[in-house]
Amino acid sequence: MSLRIGIAGIAGRMGRLLAEEVAAAGATLAGGTLRPGGAGQGVPGPVLPDAASLFAASDVVIDFTHASAAAAHASAAARAGKPLVLGTSGLSAEDEAAVVAAAEKVPVVYAANFAPGVNLVLAIAERMAAALPAAQYDAEIVEMHHRQKVDAPSGTALALGRAVARGRGTTLEAAGRESGRDGHCGARRTGTIGFAALRGGQVVGEHTLLFAAASEHIALTHRSFDRRVYATGAVRAALWLQGRSPGLYDMRHVLGMA
């Protein structure tokens, strides 16, 4: 029997791509849920009434919906004893705590980005940061997304910032974030990590990490041209979760990089 994969928010743009990738992977689409008040016309699978029903019908659930639903879906996964693949960004500290609590009972893959290329960029960013001293090389992260994106900086941009901080033996919170510069905001502080978020059009996702020194600049860029790359990665993560022990995993584990 093939793996039964459920999709939270199956009628959405990502939900439909996920359904296609489930079929392409030879897995079974167990069904999906709709956002409150959402219409189910043309949905590519059975529509289930709530998260509890979705987890009951599935071997693993993929959630790319909204930060406001992440904690509830993590709790539903823990109650049902079913694995979860979580790709929603913009989670609060409380939401992330709920995900961590669920991972004590079930395996969870939680990632800022499911594109293999992005995860390779994160690994490279950490190594670059370790080699380029913060006192000489300012780290700036520039990201651009479609005009509908509601959170900024993006989850991937924050993941890049955390990778830079790890490479420098600190945390993003301890290093300090600089963003939203406007007016006479003073000189840039040494060692901080800068963020700039651009929104417009229908850009799927562009991220550039810039290390800027007095004598040289080094840029590391990733561009996504099709959201399908996220769906393909998420389904790969769902298949990888089969037989895993409870714990909090990310795409580095799925890709064999951790």
| C-alpha–C-alpha distance, residues 248 and 137, integer Å | 32
The answer to whether residues 207 and 160 touch, using CB atoms and an 8 Å cutoff, is yes
- Cα–Cα nearest to 157, from 217, 198, 212, 186: 198
Residue type, 55: F
Residue type, 217: H
Alpha helices in 81-184 (DSSP H): 93-103, 116-131, 155-167, 172-175
Catalytic residue among 66, 73, 82, 149: 149
The answer to whether residues 21 and 228 touch, using CB atoms and an 8 Å cutoff, is yes
In which residue are the tokens 């290390």 written?
211
Instruction: Tally Cβ neighbours within 10 Å of residue 95.
Output: 19
Catalytic residue among 73, 82, 145, 222: 145
Question: 41-61 as b/e, with b when 16 or more CB fall inside 10 Å?
Answer: eebbbebbeebebbbebbbbb
| C-alpha–C-alpha distance, residues 187 and 185, integer Å | 7
Q: Is the dihedral of CA 228, 232, 233, 237 positive or negative?
A: positive
Residue 149: active-site member: yes
Where in the sequence numbering do the catalytic residues fall? 145, 149
